[in-house]
């Protein structure tokens, strides 16, 4: 605003308006201040209010002043203010059309004259002119005054010379003006002014852009004849102009290097080439032969951006040509090389271009051409676009169908020569051509399988059920079968493989198929199927439109393949026994479907899923799952027989519970050992359906797996079962699943640049050497094997190579043959020793893997426990989970701290605390187990007192509260009286339970290191007020008898929480409550008398807790008008000020005065001045900040020192003199230390530190108080 103030002062003499009126109108002047504010909302509001004000008042002097201020503000020094003034000027000109634009343009030229402006303000003047023209343009009146248009264009032409400040803003403004000017005005007025710019169009990108805009707006004026006069040719894009255009494009590319955008002139040129039918010339000569011949950088990136931007403008044929040309090849090389860190990556931008094109394009042919073009860009067979490419969700159904067919065709008959392959890796020269081709085919097929799976997995993709089933059948067929002869019934046999599927590809197919199964298990209904469904209908997953499960369709397809051995061959044929298991599985599923038609239940659906899933896994691991399939079938038969018997007899006792449940649980545990997320989810679903039938033995079988004490026994069993295959499976699954996503990144990072390969090889060799050296060092660190030492000694002695005392002086050496034999013997010995060490290392690794497998298995088994607790929370069997879960938690707290162990512990603790103890549903039929539950309660509370870890003790204490809740049960519905509800404890033996918790409370109060905490007993008091009343006397006694101040303070907390409880007050109403208040009052008085002069934190905390209880007692007694004598308590409280040094503020002080307020004693106001001076003098040296001159310090210090020194012995004077002598140097040191806030003043004097060691400690102690007195007199 300084510039404006100067300008206003310069023109103050001009007779613009009566100064007095405007000075009085602060509202009007504030508009101009708001226009300069940085907040855009404030500026827009100011523009709106200013126009409204001017229209309402309609005063000429105010309008004149407005134009002056707005024109002045165009060159404001603040960047955010210029657009505000420019916008305001444009809007005011638009509102007051009687004001001439020419007058405003003249005012702008006069005010912001570049020739007359000082060098310091020339930049502001440039912006003033530019924003002035923008304001005139925003008024929407330029077309009505042609001469003003000409003036604006000429002004902008003069501004375009100052590119260092304005860049291309003047040219862009000219283009905006041309876009609104009529053709007549352009031809009559502007053509002459722009003649020079148009003739030099190929000089700069801005001038070429101006020509292109003029061509678009005024085609009648700039006809081919006119163009020939201007440029020498009737068209812009021709063979003669291509070199000039290329240079302009390079300039434009480098100009936007930092902005990373596509210049508008480039896209306009491409549109013009399409219009002039010269697209191929422009693309091949200007882009391919021009831009791409430069070094990789801005010109390449601009070409890639042009490729993405031009997709919506081209026809299908042109798309195919462009996407198979040099630009795509260079783009692929960029994607591969850009995977290294700190490299610019253009792939995200290209993804946006492709996504926008597919979303806006409705032509399926064009969509398919783009998808095929980008998928054909490969690196050693592996496409550079990710296998999970989200742009596919915008494809039309026809384009998606065509894309899937293309992927399948490429899988069956890989034609690598038709793909755009960028092989930049040097290693291709070292491999044979056939090996490289096989590797490329494997990589391509692997990507295609992942691509197909990701299409099905993405729920955003619009796909039909036929397409989903087609992909699933294709993957399944090639994972487990191969075609012998074409069959009309099986479409997968019609096309033969040009390259056979190898084992690696088959493994990828198998894993992808079971991933597809999981995706289909969670797949919602397609859009067509959901259109007719009711809105309120529950969302169904994993089924087709007719309600059949996806996996059932695939099982039927598998059965059709197995029934046609002439046409189809299995890669792993079933044995007769396995085929029988498959057939019986189909029969069981058929029976379940028949029963489901009569009464559809979740149980039958879950069992169908389990049968079908195990059946599909027979193709993957038939030997492992054969026994499981047999057990599953016999188990189902027994379950159905049991249900039939129940229907007939209706007399089932607990002893007659079906044994099939135990077998079923064993089956589920066996299936959980498989490394499959799908199996895990289905097992969880099946178990939730059989939860009502689970017996104690079945639950014990699950708990035995989790039992920490049986780890050694169970580890052996589980590991033997799963080590050979499960470890392998886990490794294969994880590698294959992750490799699908990471393959591209690995390839790109490994193959990015030819020049880096040798360095990487050298690095890998160096790393290998370092690893070997590290292993050797580890071997050296290990204790020497005595057996190995003995063997080495024997070898040396046999070859006479071991020096002895007798032949030590001999000069004879071994001959060559003997040395060779010795070398062989030593080599054999050391290689054998190395094998032994490696075997030990492998054994250790194997044990670690087995441990990891077992822990993963246990985490899965926790799923069953969680389901059982959630579904059967009211079952008596849940009580049997308490101790096993606590044992797991206790063991986990003391075991290893690796992540997997922590996850297992966290999951167990969550199930115990949130699903079991805090569940609103609990067992209410425990009446016949009272004795057992009371014993369990006592055991839990006793154990909680003996533990060393307080966190584990909390879990045991929470379990005891859960047992009390179970024993109490729910109150009977008939009782409506509040008292009856309050005292209801169900089957709880109140006296016994009270004794148990009382002993625990006494233990907490009497032990210095108790794992119990006050919060545990607070939870007990809140949840069970009856027990709270029983334990209240014990808590009151410990206010004074607690073993330490901490326990006494916690006793106060417990009593306070208990007395605040509404239920406790209702139970102890009347004389009992008065008696309790009397007891508490007496204990509080006795406790406050015990408070000593100690200033420790513990004592103060105890005092705060005691005072809080005092506050409640005093307030309650006064409110209820109880007959309790508070006089002794008041006396003790009043004497407390002499014991504890109260500060001005703090929790202790505030609580104390809050208590005393009930006695009518208020906190005294600090008005006395004398004590303040004394305290200032006493605390003077401690709070000394800053320095006085040295002479003053000496005078002030020496006066008080002489008086006490006169009565002392000579021995005390000597330190004093030492102190005085050392002070000069110390003051210099203190000046350096002063930034610490004057802390050095309270530290002992350095002269005292320099005393010899012969001085006694007693002398030092005597001297310290004296120094304090001396320090107090210094000030």
Per-residue pLDDT at 658 exceeds 60? no
Torsion sign over Cα 758, 764, 769, 773: positive
Region 719-724 average pLDDT: 40
Least trusted range by pLDDT, from 266-270, 673-677, 924-928, 1005-1009 = 924-928
| Contact partners, residue 224, CB within 8 Å, separation at least 6 | 234, 235
| pLDDT number for residue 1191 | 61
Per-residue pLDDT at 5 exceeds 70? no
Euclidean distance between CA atoms 823 and 826, whole angstroms: 5
Region 572-579 average pLDDT: 88
Q: Where does the pLDDT of residue 438 fall: very low under 50, low under 70, confident under 90, or very high at 90 and above? A: confident
Q: What is the largest CA-CA distance in the chain?
A: 129
Q: Residue 371's closest CA among 344, 345, 398, 348?
A: 398
Region 1201-1206 average pLDDT: 38
Question: Is pLDDT larger for residue 77 or for residue 777?
Answer: 77
Report the relative pairing of strands 420-421 and 377-379 from DSSP bridges.
parallel
> φ and ψ at 812, to 5 degrees?
-75, 140
The length of the chain in residues reads: 1275
Per-residue pLDDT at 417 exceeds 90? no
Q: What is the strand order of the sheet 382-383 is part of?
A: 382-383, 377-379, 420-421
Question: Is pLDDT larger for residue 1238 or for residue 816?
Answer: 816
pLDDT in tens, 170-224: 888 888 888 888 888 888 778 877 777 788 788 888 888 888 888 888 888 888 8
Helices and strands (H and E) in the chain: how many: 59, 5
Least trusted range by pLDDT, from 117-131, 542-556, 1157-1171 = 1157-1171
| pLDDT number for residue 672 | 87
Per-residue pLDDT at 781 exceeds 70? no
Euclidean distance between CA atoms 150 and 145, whole angstroms: 9
pLDDT in tens, 623-636: 888 888 888 878 77
Mean residue pLDDT across the chain:
78
| pLDDT number for residue 979 | 47
Report the relative pairing of strands 481-483 and 568-570 from DSSP bridges.
antiparallel
Q: Residue 570's closest CA among 559, 581, 586, 585?
A: 559
Q: Where does the pLDDT of residue 784 fall: very low under 50, low under 70, confident under 90, or very high at 90 and above? A: low
Least trusted range by pLDDT, from 83-87, 291-295, 1237-1241 = 1237-1241
Q: Residue 61's closest CA among 28, 95, 91, 85?
A: 28
pLDDT in tens, 1106-1150: 999 999 999 988 888 888 888 888 888 888 877 776 776 688 888
441 touches 499 (CB < 8 A):
yes
Region 1055-1081 average pLDDT: 90
Euclidean distance between CA atoms 1000 and 993, whole angstroms: 11
For residue 462, how many other CB atoms are within 10 A of its CB? 14
Per-residue pLDDT at 59 exceeds 90? no
Question: Is pLDDT larger for residue 1017 or for residue 527?
Answer: 1017
- Return left, alpha or beta for 1092; rule: phi > 0 is left, psi -120 to 50 is alpha, else beta: beta
pLDDT in tens, 984-1000: 888 888 999 999 999 99
- The proportion of the chain whose per-residue pLDDT surpasses 90, expressed as a percent, equals 23
1076 touches 1067 (CB < 8 A):
no
The full DSSP string for 1189-1227 is -HHHHHHHHHHHHHHHHHTS-HHHHHHHHHHHHHHHHHH
Q: Where does the pLDDT of residue 783 fall: very low under 50, low under 70, confident under 90, or very high at 90 and above? A: low
| pLDDT number for residue 555 | 92
Region 883-904 average pLDDT: 84
**Is 355 in a helix, a strand, or coil?**
helix
| pLDDT number for residue 1259 | 43
Q: Where does the pLDDT of residue 1249 fall: very low under 50, low under 70, confident under 90, or very high at 90 and above? A: very low
| Contact partners, residue 1067, CB within 8 Å, separation at least 6 | 979, 982, 983, 1025, 1026, 1029
Q: What is the pTM of this model?
A: 0.68
pLDDT in tens, 14-35: 344 444 444 447 888 888 888 8
Q: What angle do CA 194, 199, 200 make, to 5 degrees?
A: 105
Least trusted range by pLDDT, from 57-71, 210-224, 810-824, 917-931 = 810-824
- The proportion of the chain whose per-residue pLDDT surpasses 70, expressed as a percent, equals 76
Spacing of C-alpha 228 from chain mean position: 62
Q: Residue by residue, what is the 3-state secondary structure of 297-350? A: CHHHHHHHHHHHHHHHHCCHHHHHHHCCCHHHHHHHHHHHHCCCCCCCCCHHHH
Spacing of C-alpha 1080 from chain mean position: 53
Region 95-113 average pLDDT: 87
| pLDDT number for residue 342 | 79
Region 1182-1209 average pLDDT: 48
| pLDDT number for residue 220 | 82
| pLDDT number for residue 114 | 78
Residue 404 to residues 416, 447, 625, 1251: CA-CA distances in angstroms? 18, 13, 34, 93
Euclidean distance between CA atoms 809 and 984, whole angstroms: 101
Per-residue pLDDT at 532 exceeds 70? no
pLDDT in tens, 451-467: 999 999 888 888 888 99
> φ and ψ at 568, to 5 degrees?
-130, 140
pLDDT in tens, 690-713: 888 888 888 888 888 887 666 555
pLDDT in tens, 129-144: 888 989 888 888 888 8
């Amino acid at each position: 605003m300084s510039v404006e103030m100067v300008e206003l002062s310069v023109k103050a003499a001009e007779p613009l308006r009566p100064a007095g009126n405007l000075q009085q109108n602060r509202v009007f002047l504030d508009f101009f201040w708001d226009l300069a504010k940085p907040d855009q909302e404030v500026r827009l509001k100011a523009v709106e209010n200013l126009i409204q004000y001017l229209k309402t008042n309609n005063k000429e002097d105010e309008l004149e002043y407005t134009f002056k201020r707005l024109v002045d503000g165009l060159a404001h020094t603040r960047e955010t203010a210029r657009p505000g003034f420019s916008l305001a000027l444009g809007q005011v000109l638009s509102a007051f059309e009687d004001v001439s634009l020419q007058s405003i343009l003249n005012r702008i030229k006069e005010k912001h004259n570049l020739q007359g402006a000082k060098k310091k303000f020339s930049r502001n003047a440039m912006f003033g002119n530019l924003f002035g023209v923008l304001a005139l343009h925003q008024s929407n009146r330029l077309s009505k005054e042609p001469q003003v248009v000409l003036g604006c264009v000429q002004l902008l032409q003069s501004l375009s010379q100052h590119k260092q400040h304005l860049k291309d803003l003047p040219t862009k403004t000219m283009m905006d003006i041309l876009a609104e000017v009529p053709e007549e005005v352009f031809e009559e007025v502007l053509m002459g002014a722009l003649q020079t710019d148009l003739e030099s169009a190929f000089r700069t990108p801005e001038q070429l852009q101006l020509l292109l805009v003029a061509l678009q707006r005024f085609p009648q004026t700039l006809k081919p004849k006119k163009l020939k006069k201007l440029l020498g040719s009737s068209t812009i894009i021709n063979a003669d102009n291509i070199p000039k255009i290329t240079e302009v494009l390079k300039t434009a590319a480098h100009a936007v290097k930092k902005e990373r955008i596509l210049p508008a002139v480039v896209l306009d040129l491409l549109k013009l080439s399409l219009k002039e039918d010269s697209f191929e010339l422009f693309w091949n000569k200007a882009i391919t032969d021009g831009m791409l011949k430069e070094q990789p950088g801005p010109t390449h990136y601009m070409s890639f951006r042009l490729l993405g931007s031009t997709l919506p403008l081209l026809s299908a044929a042109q798309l195919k040509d462009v996407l198979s040309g040099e630009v795509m090849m260079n783009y692929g090389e960029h994607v591969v090389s850009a995977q290294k860190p700190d490299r610019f990556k253009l792939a995200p931008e290209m993804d946006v271009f492709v996504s926008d094109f597919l979303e806006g394009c409705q032509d399926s042919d064009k969509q398919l051409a783009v998808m095929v073009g980008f998928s054909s860009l490969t690196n050693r067979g592996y496409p550079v676009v990710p296998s999970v490419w989200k742009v596919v969700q915008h494809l039309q159904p026809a384009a998606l169908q065509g894309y899937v067919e293309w992927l399948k065709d490429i899988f069956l008959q890989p034609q690598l020569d038709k793909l755009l392959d960028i092989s930049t890796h040097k290693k291709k020269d070292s491999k044979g051509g056939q090996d490289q081709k096989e590797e490329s085919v494997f990589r391509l097929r692997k990507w295609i399988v992942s691509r197909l799976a990701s299409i099905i997995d993405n729920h955003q993709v619009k796909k039909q059920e036929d397409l989903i089933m087609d992909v699933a059948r294709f993957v399944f067929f090639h994972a487990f079968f191969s075609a012998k002869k074409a069959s009309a019934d099986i479409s997968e046999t019609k096309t033969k493989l040009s390259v056979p599927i190898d084992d690696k590809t088959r493994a990828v197919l198998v894993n992808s198929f079971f991933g597809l199964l999981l995706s289909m298990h969670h797949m919602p209904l397609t859009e067509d199927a959901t259109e007719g469904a009711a809105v309120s209908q529950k969302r169904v997953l994993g089924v087709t439109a007719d309600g059949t499960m996806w996996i059932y369709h695939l099982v039927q397809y598998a059965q059709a393949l197995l029934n046609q051995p002439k046409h189809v061959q299995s890669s792993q044929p079933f044995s007769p026994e396995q085929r029988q298991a498959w057939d019986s599985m189909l029969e069981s599923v058929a029976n379940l479907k028949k029963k489901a038609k009569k009464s559809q239940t979740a149980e039958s659906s879950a069992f169908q899923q389990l049968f079908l899933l195990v059946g599909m896994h027979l193709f993957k691991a038939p030997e492992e799952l054969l026994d499981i399939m047999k057990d599953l079938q016999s188990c189902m038969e027994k379950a159905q027989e049991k249900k039939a018997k129940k229907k007939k007899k209706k007399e089932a006792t607990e002893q007659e519970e079906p044994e099939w449940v135990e077998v079923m649980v064993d089956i589920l545990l066996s299936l959980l050992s498989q490394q499959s997320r799908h199996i895990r989810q289905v097992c969880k679903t099946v178990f939730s359906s059989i939860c009502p039938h689970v017996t104690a033995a079945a639950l014990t079988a699950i708990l035995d797996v989790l039992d920490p004490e049986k780890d050694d026994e169970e580890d052996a069993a589980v590991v033997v079962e799963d080590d050979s295959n499960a470890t392998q499976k886990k490794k294969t699954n994880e590698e294959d699943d992750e490799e699908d996503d990471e393959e591209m990144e690995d390839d790109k990072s490994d193959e990015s640049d030819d020049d880096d390969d040798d360095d990487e090889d050298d690095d890998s060799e160096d790393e290998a050497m370092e690893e070997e050296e590290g292993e050797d060092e580890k071997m050296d660190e290990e204790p020497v094997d005595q057996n190995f030492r003995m063997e080495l000694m024997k070898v040396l002695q046999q070859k006479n190579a071991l020096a002895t005392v007798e032949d030590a002086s001999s000069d004879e050496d071994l001959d060559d043959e003997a040395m060779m034999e010795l070398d062989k013997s030593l080599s054999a010995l050391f290689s054998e020793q190395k094998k032994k060490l490696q075997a030990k290392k492998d054994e250790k690794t194997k044990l670690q893997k087995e441990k990891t497998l077992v822990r993963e298995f246990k985490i899965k088994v926790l799923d069953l426990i969680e389901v059982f607790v959630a579904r059967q929370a009211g079952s008596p069997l849940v009580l049997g989970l308490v101790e096993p879960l606590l044992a797991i938690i206790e063991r986990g707290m003391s075991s290893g701290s690796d992540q997997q162990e922590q996850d297992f512990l966290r999951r167990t603790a969550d199930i115990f605390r949130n699903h079991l103890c805090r569940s609103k549903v609990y067992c209410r039929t425990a009446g016949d187990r009272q004795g057992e539950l009371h014993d369990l309660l006592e055991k839990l509370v006793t154990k909680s007192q003996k533990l060393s870890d307080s966190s584990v003790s909390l879990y045991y204490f929470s379990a005891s509260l859960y047992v009390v809740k179970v024993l109490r049960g729910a109150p009977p519905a008939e009782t409506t009286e509040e008292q009856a509800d309050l005292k209801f404890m169900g089957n709880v033996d109140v006296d016994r339970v009270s004794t148990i918790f009382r002993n625990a409370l006494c233990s907490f109060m009497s032990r210095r290191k108790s794992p119990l905490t006050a919060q545990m007993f607070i939870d007990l008091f809140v949840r069970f007020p009856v027990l709270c009343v029983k334990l209240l006397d014990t808590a009151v006694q410990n206010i004074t008898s607690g073993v330490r101040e901490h326990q006494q303070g916690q006793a106060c907390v417990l009593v306070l929480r208990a007395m605040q409880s509404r239920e406790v007050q209702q139970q102890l109403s009347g004389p009992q409550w008065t008696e309790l208040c009397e007891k508490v009052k007496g204990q509080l008085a006795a406790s406050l008398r015990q408070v000593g002069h100690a200033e420790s934190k513990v004592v103060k905390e105890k005092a705060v807790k005691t005072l809080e209880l005092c506050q409640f007692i005093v307030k309650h007694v006064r409110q209820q008008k109880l007959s309790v004598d508070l006089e002794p308590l008041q006396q003790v409280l009043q004497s407390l000020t002499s014991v504890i040094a109260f500060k001005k503020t703090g929790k202790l002080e505030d609580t104390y005065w809050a208590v005393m307020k009930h006695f009518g004693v208020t906190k005294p106001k600090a008005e006395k001045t004398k004590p303040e001076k004394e305290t200032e003098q006493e605390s003077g040296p401690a709070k000394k900040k800053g320095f006085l001159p040295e002479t003053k310090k000496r005078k002030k210090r020496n006066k008080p020192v002489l008086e006490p020194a006169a009565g002392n012995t000579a021995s005390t004077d000597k330190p004093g003199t030492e102190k005085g002598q050392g002070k000069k140097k110390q003051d210099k040191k203190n000046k350096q230390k002063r930034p610490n806030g004057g802390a050095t003043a309270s530290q002992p004097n350095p002269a005292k530190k320099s005393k010899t060691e012969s001085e006694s400690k007693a002398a030092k102690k005597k001297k310290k108080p004296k120094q304090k007195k001396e320090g107090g007199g210094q000030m």
